[in-house]
Chains A and B, each alone.
Chain A
């Protein structure tokens, strides 16, 4: 039933797949040019920073929500080990650097990596389409908790953690195609790399 030439087709496809595997290992990841007009906003839903206005600036979507915390800490003079606004990969004297970062790409725009310092939730809103994604993060994992999309594939893709991200088919990614949202769980080193690439591009 199967013919010699059919095996040729299979062989050709295997070569294609092998080529794709090779290319997936390297090659520059084209960072989307951060367009300030992107109608995407992101808000942290943590109780201590819930009511702060969401920042639409694409470079640092979380600066607005972390600012109130830092304003409180000087008054009590307690050391704040988790400086959320610090540059990715920067050494902290307390050694409290987050091990994992969340990299969000929405509508072709890649945002600055977000350090995962505690369990919290982020909500990504696209004002023009009404699309909404809620991302649940812990210190070492990322999960799409809620999405307005029709197929819910992103929610079903489950948890990406530092432990399982090499074993997953989609590796460190969670993709929501209808809302054009891509989440990646990256390590501190990768976050530093992303920051370096951004500087090269900008």
Chain B
């Protein structure tokens, strides 16, 4: 019971951290260089959640984050795009995590790249065009970079808290 309470409190805390990071990110004007690009700071929280709370709970947190940030900042349209990115990203991260010998950076990079890919994929479906493939390639490359950054952040936080994110099977 006590453990469950702690888990719920931790989840709530993480969602609020993600929402704040999402807002902070919207203040960083990266979009002028590459339209639609974000660092994905909130993803480092999800990454942390995967390692500390487990896959299922992390997935739920992702859904809650998408719904709440969509309702507060983005609107329904933006919500659809972050959902597409979020689901694909989460799937990629969970798969890569199960690959033996990969660390948190690989998980993070795969997640970020697939998040971007998912969003452009939805855009291509909506616009019914294949002309965005070039843009998709660029965003996959960008995702490798941003995924590295968020992975380093999550790694550092996990280390400070005494987890072993470098282990093959690390758990809370």
Contact = CB atoms under 8 A, between A and B. Distances in A.
Interface residues of B, number: 44
Interface string A149-186: 11101001100000000000111010101101010100
B136 A151 contact: no
Q: Name the prevailing secondary structure of the B interface residues.
A: helix
A32 B129 CA distance: 8
Interface stretch (A8-16, A51-59, A62-70, A81-89): A8-16
B109 A9 contact: yes
- Is the interface on chain A under 10, 10 to 19, 20 to 34, or 35 or more residues? 35 or more
Given A3-B101, A4-B101, A13 B140 contact: yes
Contacts of A8: 102, 106
Interface stretch (A23-31, A36-44, A111-119): A23-31
A135 B34 CA distance: 21
B137 A6 contact: no
B113 interface: yes
A2 B105 contact: yes
B140 A177 contact: no
A17 B126 CA distance: 21
A55 B128 CA distance: 23
A2 B32 CA distance: 31
Contacts of A32: 128
A32 to B, nearest CB: 6
Contacts of B155: 1
Contacts of B48: none
B133 interface: yes
Interface of B: 31-36, 74-75, 77-78, 81, 96, 99-103, 105-106, 109-110, 113, 117, 123, 126-138, 140-141, 143-144, 152, 155, 166
18 contacts: A3-B102, A4-B101, A5-B99, A6-B103, A9-B102, A13-B110, A13-B143, A14-B144, A21-B137, A24-B131, A24-B137, A30-B128, A150-B78, A151-B74, A151-B75, A175-B123, A177-B127, A178-B75
